[in-house]
Amino acid sequence: MNTLVIFGATSAIAQAYVNRVANRYDKTILVARNAEALEQIATHTRVLGATTVEVVVADLSNSENHPSLLEKTFSSTVDCALIAYGELTDQQRCAQDSGYALQQMQLNGSSTISLSAGVARKMAEQKSGTLAVISSVAGDRGRRSNYHYGAAKGAVSIFLSGLRSDMSTQGVQVLTIKPGFVDTPMTREFKKGLLWASADKVAEDIDNAVGKGKSVLYTPWFWRYIMLVIKLIPEFIFKRLPL
């Protein structure tokens, strides 16, 4: 049986991805913490032609939930798993509230790493599968405006780089997804401009990258070059930029 698992299925990017690909799988398992929203998404996914759609309700930030979650989702071979949950960290609040800063690091960083490691272990036992994880361009370099979020995403990207190498002999593909600005509920407060992409565009890019067995995806493509320039700016200049 051909199975797709989505961790963070209520995310706008995840929903756009499921809308594109679910009818190619025999079974789709949607995992998220909001039971009501999850049921609505499952109903929509069935309408789109997905054969079997199952839901699992879980707070993904709590790593203690991960072992039982993995038992439930890997009851049969999983061909593709997408990890798509997260939150845009309030940088100002982090400066005042270290508890919040740590909770955000757990959500966007440690828990994602823990879940990625667990999924990869299960796929290594199968000797097959694709693990796709949404990190961010924010993890490529610490910027004044969002380095708490960036540090968590940077940790995820570095972990996935090592995991990919580790899994390369086990038949498991690991894809790091680095979106730029995407118009989703996470960014609803932001003024949108030329650099912004839709969740559908990002989902299309993820679909192509999974199909081609890519390692790292910048989406849309031009972010690879924007981040190349950002990374090349010498630190003594970079620290003065109001980015």
Ligand X SMILES: NC(=O)c1ccc[n+]([C@@H]2O[C@H](COP(=O)([O-])OP(=O)(O)OC[C@H]3O[C@@H](n4cnc5c(N)ncnc54)[C@H](OP(=O)(O)O)[C@@H]3O)[C@@H](O)[C@H]2O)c1
Q: Which residues bind ligand X (CB under 6 A)?
A: 8, 10-13, 32-34, 37, 59-61, 84-87, 107, 134, 136, 179, 181-182, 184-187
On whether the CB atoms of residues 4 and 29 are closer than 8 A, the answer is yes
Amino acid, res. 76: S
The least CB distance from residue 8 to ligand X, in Å, is: 5
Position of minimal CB gap to ligand X: 86
The least CB distance from residue 100 to ligand X, in Å, is: 14
- Closer to ligand X by CB, 67 or 171: give it: 67
Sheet holding 173-179, edge to edge: 52-57, 27-32, 3-7, 80-83, 130-134, 173-179, 216-219
Residue showing tokens 């031009």: 222
The least CB distance from residue 19 to ligand X, in Å, is: 13
The least CB distance from residue 202 to ligand X, in Å, is: 8
**Backbone φ and ψ of 200, nearest 5°:** -65, -40
Residue showing tokens 């961010």: 136
- Closer to ligand X by CB, 105 or 134: give it: 134
On whether the CB atoms of residues 136 and 108 are closer than 8 A, the answer is no
Instruction: Report the candidate in 97, 166, 163 with the shortest Cα–Cα distance to residue 135.
Output: 163
Give dist(CA 111, CA 119) in Å, integer: 12
Instruction: Report the candidate in 88, 85, 56, 58 with the shortest Cα–Cα distance to residue 72.
Output: 56
**CA separation (Å) from 174 to 26, 82, 132, 167?**
22, 10, 6, 8
The least CB distance from residue 127 to ligand X, in Å, is: 28
- Closer to ligand X by CB, 37 or 55: give it: 37
- Closer to ligand X by CB, 76 or 221: give it: 221
- Closer to ligand X by CB, 3 or 176: give it: 176
- Closer to ligand X by CB, 1 or 243: give it: 243
The least CB distance from residue 26 to ligand X, in Å, is: 25
